[in-house]
Amino acid sequence: MNDEVTALSLTKKEIEQRIAELKMEYIRLQNDLEKLESTGQRTSIQENKLGEIEKELRSLREQLDDDF
């Protein structure tokens, strides 16, 4: 994933900012997912995106723990 490679050169502040952005996006997607589920629509795209966000968050948090 390109985001993981890019994360290697980020400062602590940039990593923390990216984590905050991803958390907000995650919450928005969860809300969208709930709306789709309640109307019986497909949710696979949102579920996949949530998984991608979780992976990036995990990677960024690991980098914070390891490097800072």
| pLDDT score recorded for residue 47 | 97
Helix (H) or strand (E) holding 43: none
| pLDDT score recorded for residue 1 | 44
**Which residue matches tokens 């490097």?**
67
Half-sphere exposure of 44 (CA within 13 A, CB side): 1
- The whole-model pTM stands at 0.81
Half-sphere exposure of 62 (CA within 13 A, CB side): 9
Model confidence at 67: pLDDT above 90? no
| pLDDT score recorded for residue 8 | 56
Mean of the per-residue pLDDT values for the chain?
90
pLDDT tens, residue by residue, 5-24? 454 578 999 999 999 999 99
Contact 8, 63 (CB under 8 A): yes
Which residues, in sequence order, are CB contacts of 29 under 8 Å at separation 6+?
A: 46, 49, 50, 53
